[in-house]
A and B are shown apart, each in its own frame.
Chain A
Amino acid sequence: MSNRNAIVVDNVYFTYPDGREVLKGISCGIAHGEKLALVGPNGAGKSTFMSQLNGVLMPSQGRVIIDGIEITKENLTQVRRKVGIVFQDPDDQLFCPTVFDDVAFGPLNLGLSKDEIHLRVKDALEMVGLLGFEGRPSFHLSFGERKRLALATVLSYQPEILVFDEPSTNMDPMSRRRLIEWLKSSDKTILLCTHDLDIALEVCYRCIVLTDGQIVADGPASDILYDRKLLEANRLELPLALQTHELLHGMLNIATMDEDHRTIIKDFLHAHLHIHGPDQHQHVHLHAHEHEHDHLHEESLQDVHVHDLKHDNPPSGHTDVPVPHSHKKDKEKDKESGLGGRLKIRHKLFGGGHGGGHSHDDGFHTH
């Protein structure tokens, strides 16, 4: 574990005054710019963990290091400049009379100049699409607007690390989509504490499963969020998008299904199910039409590279787009099987009109 990480949590225990031990020896590191999902059932300790990251709660034992600074009571101000927490309930976070005052609260506490504060408020409100709301009372906004405003109140003091507690709770679909797109486009270190595994699947590269105050899994989101057994053992379930995909693909295998229905499902899968990962090289496309392509790899398989993948008979409206990606996982598999060096990898290309993509023979997993 390196101190160069944005966040280092080293063997942290936390016990509430009533004697409940909520965190039991948590250790992990989060790199700069990493997007991490912290998932777990109710009462797993996610919120408590989150509160350790800017010293709102101090560990009973162990240490938390933010950008090389170990959190102590003496440096809380310094740490809180680096870590912004967006709490679940916006009403807990919007305590000022107007939108402007709420967004300016953090920068004011930083002692910034008047002009700088105005600039930051404007930028933050612009980022969340609330420019022009400055003079309105925060409590008169809709829930979705209040959620976005809560994010703006944190963005305005420009923390390097953003921690979200259930960011999508109670949001309408459009607000949720806006949030997802924002999270995907952000270059900040992001930690999502959430039950919404679909948002985790779309946004995060990495996932930690927390249960009963302990980390039970830590790895690529593309492994953990597809692991039905692991998720169910921890009172979670597959992301809804994957469940839907599984269900529809299962239906395609029903021998007695007539061709019309099969076509409808195929069309539906082709038209609607696009699950993108946080970047282009880590995503799946859940399309029903499959094409096989062979690729030869000679370079380091850790490198992100581009295949010029083409459909043999693309459906109408389909566009093939070269997709940058890597084959790290394939390389590891081939190492295990004794292969190496020049690899021949066969893909089933599911294609798609939203940027292309591919998946491997053994299922709908990602690289």
Chain B
Amino acid sequence: MSLEIDRFSHIESSVQRWDPRIKILSLGFFIFVAALLKTIPVAVISLLIAIIIIKITNIPFHFVAQSIKWIIIFLAPFFFILPFSYPGEAAFRFIGLPFAWEGFRLAVLIFTKAVAIVLATDAVFGSSRFDISMIAMQRLKCPKVIVQMVLFTYRYIFVFIDEVKRMEKAMRSKGFVMKANMNTLRTMGNFVGTLLIRSFERTGRVYSAMLSKGYQGDLHTLVTFEAQVKDFVKAGLIAILTIAVFVTDMINIFHPAIKGWY
């Protein structure tokens, strides 16, 4: 599995060519609105918009599917928990538990919005080099501490994973087999603890290396952004769509997922 979110940023498309600052603002607005939606049909519309945007980026489906896979793994339990736990009229009983359609609708709404948001996020960060996106965030006055933390976290995820693999190999070579017992718990506790200590020590060494090269708290870059009219046209288009989606949701054309849920 590749963790490089920006591995298809080099592909030619109008989303890739979009000024990253304006792209982050526009699609960030779309993501924010998508998170607020209350009706399933409007959430589906936002999902369709997200699918169209990701389609324009030409990012391969298998790559996007990896992101969606995690959403499915994370949200699948909602389909089993919410219908049986959300207060509402019981449609039927399953193993003695009341099944409420309101709970199921809520699960569908959450899932639809989550997929739309993940696709839009993939479109934002998958269509520009990640460091460029972070620099754009910095230019948008995002606190530099946050920007640098995200940037370094992303950079060192790969080193961290290599370290995990090396340690795991060392454990297995010494005969460790994961079982449901105290020994496994103790070993995994030591494993995680060692990883944290190593990571902490590495941060110290990286910081020393940065200081050695004149780092004084700011990340300087040669990257320059130049917004053009077409960047604003794209932003306008997304803004219109987003506002339309939001207004449609607000005026309650469609029946909300949960009665009285706002």
Q: Which residues of A are at the interface with B, using a C-beta cutoff of 8 A?
A: 51, 54-56, 76-77, 80-81, 83-85, 87, 89, 91-93, 95-98, 101, 104-106, 108-111, 114, 117, 137, 139, 153-154, 157
Asked if residues A56 and B208 are in contact (CB atoms below 8 Å), the reply is: yes
Residues on the B chain within 8 Å of A97, using CB: 129-131, 151, 155
CB distance from B201 to the nearest CB of A (A): 10
B:214-246 near A, CB below 8 Å: 214-216, 220-222
CB distance from A4 to the nearest CB of B (A): 24
Asked if residues B129 and A92 are in contact (CB atoms below 8 Å), the reply is: no
Flag whether B254 is at the interface (Cβ < 8 A). no
Flag whether B71 is at the interface (Cβ < 8 A). no
Flag whether B181 is at the interface (Cβ < 8 A). no
Interface size on B, residues (CB 8 A): 25
- Set B202, B210, B212, B222: member contacting A54, Cβ < 8 A: B212
- Set B129, B155, B202, B215: member contacting A139, Cβ < 8 A: B155
Q: Nearest chain-A residue to B205 (Cβ)?
A: A92
A97-B129, A97-B130 given; A91·B212 CB < 8 A: no
Residues on the B chain within 8 Å of A91, using CB: 159, 202
CB distance from A118 to the nearest CB of B (A): 8
Residues on the B chain within 8 Å of A104, using CB: 222
- Sorted from nearest, which 8 A-B pairs have the closest CB atoms? A109-B214, A108-B220, A97-B131, A92-B205, A106-B213, A93-B209, A56-B208, A85-B212
Q: How far, in whole Å, are A110 and B212 apart by their CA atoms in the complex? A: 12
29 contacts between A and B (CB under 8 A): A51-B208, A54-B212, A55-B211, A56-B211, A56-B212, A76-B211, A77-B214, A77-B216, A84-B212, A91-B202, A92-B206, A92-B209, A93-B206, A93-B209, A95-B155, A95-B156, A96-B131, A101-B221, A104-B222, A106-B214, A108-B220, A108-B221, A109-B214, A109-B216, A110-B214, A111-B220, A117-B222, A139-B155, A154-B213
Flag whether B70 is at the interface (Cβ < 8 A). no
The secondary-structure label for the interface of chain A is helix
Asked if residues A81 and B209 are in contact (CB atoms below 8 Å), the reply is: no
Q: How far, in whole Å, are A157 and B206 apart by their CA atoms in the complex? A: 18
Residues on the A chain within 8 Å of B212, using CB: 54, 56, 80, 83-85, 154
Asked if residues A81 and B214 are in contact (CB atoms below 8 Å), the reply is: yes
Flag whether B158 is at the interface (Cβ < 8 A). yes
Q: How far, in whole Å, are A282 and B67 apart by their CA atoms in the complex? A: 62
Beyond the given pairs A108-B221, A139-B158, A157-B213, 10 more chain A to chain B contacts, judged by CB atoms under 8 angstroms and listed by A's residue number, are A56-B211, A91-B159, A95-B152, A95-B156, A95-B209, A97-B151, A98-B129, A104-B222, A109-B215, A109-B216
A89-B205, A108-B222, A109-B220 given; A96·B213 CB < 8 A: no
Q: How far, in whole Å, are A98 and B129 apart by their CA atoms in the complex? A: 10
Q: How far, in whole Å, are A139 and B130 apart by their CA atoms in the complex? A: 14
- Set A83, A87, A109, A111: member contacting B209, Cβ < 8 A: A87
Give the interface centre of A84, A106, A117 by most chain B CB atoms within 10 Å.
Answer: A106
Q: Nearest chain-A residue to B203 (Cβ)?
A: A92
Residues on the B chain within 8 Å of A76, using CB: 211
Residues on the B chain within 8 Å of A84, using CB: 212
B:136-163 near A, CB below 8 Å: 151-152, 155-156, 158-159
Residues on the A chain within 8 Å of B202, using CB: 91-92
Q: Nearest chain-A residue to B208 (Cβ)?
A: A56
Q: Mark B167-184, 1 if CB is under 8 A from A, else 0.
A: 000000000000000000
Q: How far, in whole Å, are A139 and B129 apart by their CA atoms in the complex? A: 15
Q: How far, in whole Å, are A188 and B158 apart by their CA atoms in the complex? A: 34
Q: How far, in whole Å, are A93 and B210 apart by their CA atoms in the complex? A: 7
Q: How far, in whole Å, are A111 and B215 apart by their CA atoms in the complex? A: 11
Asked if residues B205 and A109 are in contact (CB atoms below 8 Å), the reply is: no
Q: How far, in whole Å, are A154 and B221 apart by their CA atoms in the complex? A: 17
CB distance from A59 to the nearest CB of B (A): 16
- Set A51, A89, A139, A153: member contacting B213, Cβ < 8 A: A153
CB distance from B191 to the nearest CB of A (A): 20
CB distance from A225 to the nearest CB of B (A): 28
Q: How far, in whole Å, are A76 and B212 apart by their CA atoms in the complex? A: 9
Q: How far, in whole Å, are A76 and B210 apart by their CA atoms in the complex? A: 13
Q: How far, in whole Å, are A106 and B210 apart by their CA atoms in the complex? A: 9
Q: How far, in whole Å, are A266 and B183 apart by their CA atoms in the complex? A: 59
Q: How far, in whole Å, are A73 and B34 apart by their CA atoms in the complex? A: 50
Residues on the B chain within 8 Å of A117, using CB: 222
